[in-house]
Amino acid sequence: MYQESFHHIFLQSYFVLYRKPNRFQSCILKKQCYNIFMKIWLTRHGQTNYNKQKLMQGLTDEPLNETGILQAKQAREKIGDIHFDAIYASSLDRAITTASIIGNIEKEKVIVDDRIIEVNFGKYELHHYYLLGLRFSLFWAFPEFFKEPESVESICSMVKRSSSFLKE
């Protein structure tokens, strides 16, 4: 017996939309085995006033501005008629709003999971992009070579939490 199963997931900072079109399942030795394929759609939230001012805004819960709302609506238009089976976002309002608009659902239906939340920038939060100092700038440009400054979430920590989300 063959059944079709394919999932589209949309991850937005971040959030995830998830859908099933045309793929197959297989039967092996009279036991039904499933080959489930997922397509994950990733996007970043739309613009906020802090983005516009070029400020680091990791965990600061700043909402989308008018441009950010327009960006999310334009992304939805580009997607077309695709329906997503699940939509995930972090608890940040900018992520939930972007997910809701692009996923074409009410905010209350967005599944919130903080394993996909923005990086914690610690004491660098709300500092101008170009005034972060050499240590942070080197880390941000080359995290594989430079350790994160004190109070900033490590790349290892971010990868571990976001990977656990994707594996689940």
Catalytic residue numbers read 45, 118
- For 12, 37, 83, 101, 107, the CA distances from 64, given in Å and listed in that order, are 14, 33, 23, 11, 14
Amino acid, res. 160: K
**Residue at token pair 């394919």:** 6
The β-bridge relationship of strands 16-18 and 86-89 is antiparallel
Q: Where are the beta strands (DSSP E) in the chain?
A: 6-12, 16-18, 26-28, 31-33, 37-43, 86-89, 111-112
Of residues 85, 80, 76, the one with CA closest to residue 19: 85
